[in-house]
Chain A
Amino acid sequence: MNGAKILVESLIKEKVEVVFGYPGGQVLPLFDALYDAPIKFILTRHEQAAAHAADGYSRASGKTGVCIATSGPGATNLVTGIATAYMDSIPLVAITGQVKTSLIGNDAFQEADVTGITRPITKHNFLVKDVKHLAQTIKEAFYIASTGRPGPVLVDVPVDVQQQESDFIWPAEVNIRSYKPTLFGHPGQIKRAAKLIAQAKKPILYAGGGVITSGAHHELKDLAKRISAPVTLTLMGLGAFPATDELFLGMLGMHGTGYANYAVTEADLIIAVGARFDDRVTGRLDAFAPGAKVIHIDIDPSSISKNIKVDIPIVGDAKNVLGQLLEEIKKIPDTSGWLKTIESWRKKHPLTYKSEGKIKPQYVLEQLYEVTRGAAIITTEVGQHQMWAAQWYKYLYPRTFISSGGLGTMGFGFPAAMGAKMAYPEKEVIDVAGDGSIQMNIQELATCVCNKINVKVIILNNGYLGMVRQWQELFYKKRYSYTCITAPDFVKLAESYGGIGLRVTKKEEVRKALQKALSTKNVVFVDIHVEPEENVYPMVPAGEAINRMINGLA
C-alpha cells in the first residue's frame, strides 16, 4: 500500500477515532486515504483550531489528540496550538504534509522548515524521508507523546513519501534506548518524605496538572485525608481535588484565594505533586514559602529544583509515587491547630465580589455551576473570564476544566470545547469566553454547525480586553491603550452560521438563559453584557510576594 494508507492504518492501530484538520496540496494522498477510512474527520475552518480541538479532545479524554495540516502555511498555522499543548504537557500528534523530498530546501511553493520551526515547541519531531520508516515513526510518535511527561510530537511527511509503495509492518513494540521515563519513586526518597510528613505541623499539598495526567486524583485525596493536610491547586490542577471538600483552599498564586496564598506562605512543609512552581504561582521567589521544606513529586526531573530549591525530589509518575507514599506513611502529623488557623483566614479573607451594579461575571459563573451542578466540562479562553471561571465554578472531577495555562492562548477555548465534545458527546461542554478571545477563532461556528458539535459559549462581554485593561487601570494610570474592543452582534453572528444566539442584559435573566442554552440542541452563543470595568481579585502584582495581594474591596 502507499505511504498515505500506511499512515492511516497506523492511526487505526493506535485506536485513533477522531482527527481534526484541514486539507491542502501536500496532503492530497493522505486525504484520499482518509476519504473512506473508519476515522471520524472534523474539518475545522482554520488549522490553529484543529490543533486546539485535538488538544481539547486529549485534555477531556486522556487519549492522544491528532491533527493534520498541509505543508507551509497549514503547518505554521498549527504552531500556536502545538505550543499551547507543549506548555501544558498535552499528548498530541500533529501530522503535516511536506513538499516532496527532492524539493526540500529549494524554497518550493508552500514549503516551510516545519521540523525546524517546531523543534522548541514539541517534545520531539520527525521528518520521514523513507516510506519504510513511516509506520515505525508513527508508533514512536504516539509513544513519546503519551508517556513520561506528555507533549506534542510532530511528524512531517513529504508528499512523495505518502505516494511511495511499501508493505505495512506495524512494529510490535517501541524501544527507544535514549528515552526511558522513570515511573516509580526511589524507595529511599519515599521513606525520607514520609518521615518529613510525620514531623510536619503545617503541611500543605500543592498539586497541578500532573495529577490529572497521571490519574492520581484518588491518591491525592487519600493522602490529604490521611494526613489532614489542606490542598491547593494550580490552574492546570483544577478538578484534581473536589472543590466542595473542606480541605480545599482553591487555587493559589496570582489570582489565588487569600487563604491559599497565606497557607503556602506560612506552611512548614509543601508537598508539590505534578506542579512546576511556575512564576504565576510563586510570585516573588525569595518570599515564597520561606519557612517550608519542600517535597516535589514530578515525572520530569528538569521541573525539580528549577525555580525553587527542593529538599526531597521524587521523580516518578504521580499516581505511583503517591501510592508508594501512602504505603510508607505510618505516623500522622497533628494538623488541627493549622487547620483552625486556615479556617480563620478563610473567614477573614473569603473570595468575594460586590454584587450591586450591572451583571457581575462572578455571578454568571456561580449560576453556571448551580445549573450544571459541576457535571459539565468547562473550557476557557484567556483573560479575566478565565480567572473568574477558575475561581467561581466548583470543579468536582478531573478533566472538567480545560484551559491554556502555560502559554495563555486566546482563541483556545472554543475549538478546545469542540474537541472535548467529540470525546464526550453526551456531556455538556461549555466555553467560558470573553468578547475579545472569542473573536480569535470564531470561524469555528461553521465547524460546530456542520458537524452538530453542540457546544455552548458563554461570552462575558465587557467591551474590553479585560485583563490587559485591568493592568492598565492598576499599573498604567488608567491609560486604556487599545484595550477597548468592538465586537460583532454575537446573536446575529451565531444565527448567520446556523447556530443560536441569546443576549442577556439583566441579572435576573442570567439563569434562565443558561438553562435555555443547555437545553438547546445546537451550538449556542450566550452574549452576557457584564460590568465593563470589573476586576479579578485577589491579585498579586507581578513580582510581588504571594501574600501581598490587592483585594480591591478596601
Chain B
Amino acid sequence: MKHTISVSVENKFGVLARVAGLFSARGYNISSLAVSETLDPTISYMTIVVDAKDEAILEQIKKQLNKLIDVISVTDFTKKEYIGRELILAKVNCLAKDRTKLERALEGYVAKIVQRKEDLAIVEAVGDEEQVTQLLELLAGFGIKELVRTGKIAIV
C-alpha cells in the first residue's frame, strides 16, 4: 500500500543521500520523492510516497527516518486529510484537426496545452492521484509520446 510521508530535514549537502541510502539499505521502496527548500532556507522539505506492505514496515520507515541526525520531523499523511498534488508534462499526438478535441478533453481538469508543434502537443496538468490517473487514461487515447511527472507534494 502507498503512503505519503513528509520529512523536514536540515538543508545540508548529503541529506538526500542519507534518506535515499536508508531506503535502499533497508529494502524499502520509494514510489516518488520531491525535495525543495522551504521558507526557512535552513530547512528542506521532502514528500516521499512509499510502498509499504504493512503497518509495521511503515512504522519502521518512520522510526528509521527519525533516527537520521539531519531529520527534524516526520509526518505521516496516511490517516490525515491532506492536499496532495502532482504536476505532469505529457507530449501527446495532436493533429491540427484534433486540437479542439484535446482541449475539450482537458476541460474539468487543471490542465492546458502549453505548446503545440507539428503534430504534437505538450499538456501540463496538476492534480491529485485520482485526477492525474484519469487524465493520463484520457491522454492515452490520443497517444502519449513522452511523460514526465514531479512526484507528489503534500500539505495539511
List the interface of chain A (C-beta within 8 A of B): 115-116, 119-120, 123-124, 127, 144, 176-179, 300-302, 305-306, 309
Contact = CB atoms under 8 A, between A and B. Distances in A.
B25 interface: yes
Query: Which of B66, B67, B69, B72 gathers the greatest number of chain A CB atoms within 10 Å?
Result: B69
Contacts of B18: 119
B61 to A, nearest CB: 10
Interface string B54-72: 0010011001101101111
Contact of A119 (B10, B17, B67, B71): B17
19 contacts: A116-B17, A119-B14, A119-B21, A123-B69, A124-B69, A127-B14, A144-B69, A178-B9, A178-B69, A178-B70, A178-B71, A178-B73, A179-B69, A301-B66, A302-B63, A302-B64, A305-B56, A305-B59, A309-B56
Interface in B60-106: 60, 63-64, 66-67, 69-73
Q: Which 5 A-B pairs have the closest CB atoms?
A: A302-B63, A124-B69, A178-B72, A120-B25, A301-B63
Nearest to A301: B63
Contacts of A116: 17
Contacts of A144: 69
Contacts of A309: 56
Given A116-B17, A124-B69, A179-B69, 16 more contacts: A115-B14, A119-B17, A119-B18, A119-B21, A120-B21, A120-B25, A144-B69, A178-B9, A178-B69, A178-B71, A178-B73, A301-B63, A301-B67, A302-B63, A305-B56, A305-B59
A302 B68 CA distance: 11
A181 to B, nearest CB: 10
Contacts of A127: 14
Interface of B is mostly: helix
A301 B64 CA distance: 9
Contacts of A120: 21, 25
B63 to A, nearest CB: 4
Query: Which of A124, A176, A179, A300 gathers the greatest number of chain B CB atoms within 10 Å?
Result: A179
B62 to A, nearest CB: 9
Interface residues of B, number: 19
B67 A300 contact: yes
Query: Which of A115, A176, A300, A302 gathers the greatest number of chain B CB atoms within 10 Å?
Result: A302
A300 B60 CA distance: 12
A152 to B, nearest CB: 13
Contacts of A301: 63, 66-67
A302 B14 CA distance: 22
A306 B70 contact: no
A75 B9 CA distance: 28
A300 B67 CA distance: 8
Interface in B12-56: 14, 17-18, 21, 25, 56
B63 A178 contact: no
B14 A306 contact: no
B19 to A, nearest CB: 11
A169 B21 CA distance: 34
A301 B59 CA distance: 10
A119 B66 CA distance: 16
Contact of A302 (B10, B67, B72, B73): B67
B60 A306 contact: yes
Contacts of B70: 124, 178
B46 to A, nearest CB: 13
A160 B18 CA distance: 26
A179 B60 CA distance: 18
A359 B17 CA distance: 53
B72 A177 contact: yes
Contacts of A124: 69-70
A439 to B, nearest CB: 31
Contacts of B64: 302
A136 to B, nearest CB: 13
A127 B18 CA distance: 14
Given A115-B14, A119-B18, A120-B21, A176 B69 contact: yes
A177 B70 CA distance: 9
Contacts of A119: 14, 17-18, 21
A116 B73 CA distance: 23
Nearest to B13: A127
A438 to B, nearest CB: 32
Contacts of A178: 9-10, 69-73
A122 to B, nearest CB: 10
A302 B60 contact: yes
Contacts of B17: 116, 119
Contacts of A302: 60, 63-64, 66-67
Contacts of A305: 56, 59
A151 B29 CA distance: 26
A305 B18 CA distance: 23
A179 B67 CA distance: 8
Contacts of B10: 178
